[in-house]
Chains A and B, each alone.
Chain A
C-alpha cells in the first residue's frame, strides 16, 4: 500500500484492525468519534466484534471481560471517558489483563471543551501499578504505536495506553501501512484465559485480593515486570544536548510546535531538543545527557499548569531551572506562545 492521506482517528482504527483486534467496546466522545465510526463500518466486514456500549464504564468492563477470555481487545475515548474507566483499568493491572486503550485528549477539567489538549499525563487509578503509556508525535507514529501497543500489552500482560491529543486525532497526514513495525515474536501464552464451553477445568481471576496474594503481586510487579518494561520500552527522540544552552522538552503536537519555534527563533544560543515517546516509562536518559552549558529547560505543553514538567524536573534533578510554557487566556498553546516565551528568555540572557 502506497502512502495515502488518513485522519489520525481513522489510523487508530485501521492500525488496530491490522494488529488483529478481536473486539472493540466503547462510547462516543469528541474528538475521537472517527475511531468507533470506522470500526463500526469495518469490523463486521473484516471480522471481530464492535459494540457501542451504553457508557464508558460498560465499555471498559467489557474490555476486561473479553481480555479475560483471551481476546485482543481495545477501547478509545477522551479524558472525561478515561476518568470513568480508571477503576476497571486498575483492576486489569491487578489481574494482569492485556488491552489497548486510546485517549484522544481534549481540554478539561471536567467536561471542559473540545480543544486539543495534553492534560491526561497523570491519569491513573488507585493502587501501586503503572501501565505503559505511548506518545505518538505524528499520524504515521500513531499507526505504528497503536499497532505495537497490542504486542506490548500481550508481552507484559498489561493494559497499554496510547495518549494522543485531539489535534493528532483530527489532523490529516500521509501514512504508509507497509511501514508498520514487525509483529513481536514469542509472545507469551495466555494461561490465565478463562476456559470456554467444552474446555476442561476452570481458572479463576481475582479482582479482589487480601493480604499475601496482593503483596506478592505488587512485589512481583515492582521487581520483575517494571524493570523489564523500563529496560525494553522506554523511548524518546533527542538532539543537540551536549552543547545546548537551552533545552526544549515536549511530546506529541506540542513537540511539533516546539520544533517549529526553535527553527524560527533567531539567536546565537544553541537549542537542544527532547521528545519523550513514552510517558511511562519516562525517558530520564536524555535529560542526564544535557551538557554543562545548559542554563534552562522549557516544557511547552497544551495545558495550563504543566503535567509532564514534573517528570522532567525529577529527571533534571535540580541541575537547572525548568519552565512551563502553556495555554493562555486566549486559548490553547500555539507556536507563537513558545516563540514569545523563548524570545523573552533569550533577550533576558542578552542583557
Chain B
C-alpha cells in the first residue's frame, strides 16, 4: 500500500489555497483522516497555515514550518514532518503549493517519493486573473509548472471567480477556457468551483460546466475584504 497525495498547483492568485483548504475540509467531513501541507515559501500572506487553528479544530493536521504555523515568518525552508506524507497510510494528504513554476520547484525535492505514491496533481485555473485569461496562457503556466517539479498533471480545477462579486458569467467563461485546456493537455476537469449562492444557477447551466460542481466557502479572505 502507498500513501494518498493530492497536489494543488497553479498560477499566483488562482485560488489554490482557498481550494486546497476547502478540499481538505470536505475530505475530513466525509470521514477521512486528512493532513494539509502548506508548501508556499514564496508568499508571506494568504497561506493555508494562516487558518491552522480552524483546520486543526476540525481534526486536520497542518504542516507548514518546523517553527510552527506563525504566518508572519518567511523562511524558505521545508518542514521535516513532510516526510510523514509518504509513509504508507489511509490518510489523505493535501499539498498546497506556492504559485507559478517558482512555487512548484519546491515539489521537485519530493519528486521520487511522490512518484511512488498514489498522487493527483491538479492545476487550478482562474480565467479572471490577468495572466491566465486564455487557454494558451494557462497551458504555458502548466508547462512551466510541470517542468519545474518533474511531475504530471492529472486534472484541472476551474476556479474562475471575481472574489465576492463572482457571477455565473465568470464561471461559464472559465468553463470554456478549462475545456480547451483539458482537451489540449488530455486530462479531465475534476471540479468547477462555485460560491454557494450560485450553486443552483450553475446546476441549471450544467451542460456548459465541466467537472463536478464544488461549492466553496471563502476561509482565506478576511470578512472585511
Contacts and interface: CB of A to CB of B under 8 A. Distances in A.
A4 B129 contact: yes
Contacts of A30: 44, 74
B74 A4 contact: no
Interface residues of A, number: 29
B72 A114 contact: yes
Contacts of B223: 260, 335
A257 B162 contact: no
B222 A174 contact: no
23 contacts: A4-B128, A4-B133, A5-B130, A7-B12, A10-B130, A30-B44, A31-B44, A31-B45, A113-B72, A113-B73, A114-B44, A114-B72, A115-B72, A166-B44, A167-B45, A174-B163, A174-B165, A257-B224, A259-B224, A261-B224, A334-B222, A335-B223, A335-B224
B45 A5 contact: no
**Chain A contact surface mostly:** mixed
Interface of B: 12-13, 43-46, 72-74, 126, 128-130, 133, 162-163, 165, 222-225
Interface in A1-31: 3-7, 10, 30-31
A4 B128 CA distance: 5
A5 B225 contact: no
CB-CB nearest 6 A-B residue pairs = A260-B224, A170-B45, A113-B72, A4-B130, A114-B44, A257-B224
Contacts of B45: 31, 116, 166-167, 170-171
B72 A5 contact: no
Contacts of B222: 334-335
A5 B224 contact: no
B99 to A, nearest CB: 10
Interface in A170-198: 170-174
B130 A171 contact: no
Contacts of A3: 128, 162
Contacts of A6: 130
Contacts of A5: 13, 126, 128-130, 162-163
Contacts of A261: 224
**Chain B contact surface mostly:** loop
Contacts of B163: 5, 172-174
Nearest to B12: A7
A284 interface: no
A173 B162 CA distance: 8
Contacts of A114: 44, 72-74
Contacts of A173: 163, 225
Contacts of A130: none
Interface in A92-129: 107, 113-116
A313 interface: no
A172 B128 CA distance: 11
Contacts of A331: 72
Contacts of B46: 170-171
Given A5-B130, A115-B72, A171-B225, 19 more contacts: A3-B128, A4-B128, A5-B128, A5-B162, A7-B12, A7-B13, A30-B74, A113-B72, A170-B43, A172-B13, A174-B128, A174-B163, A174-B165, A259-B224, A260-B223, A331-B72, A334-B222, A334-B224, A335-B224
B64 to A, nearest CB: 14
Contacts of B130: 4-6, 10
Nearest to B74: A114
A269 B165 CA distance: 31
A335 B224 CA distance: 7
A213 B25 CA distance: 68
A261 to B, nearest CB: 8
A331 B69 CA distance: 13
A172 B43 CA distance: 13
B19 to A, nearest CB: 14
Nearest to B133: A4
Nearest to B165: A174
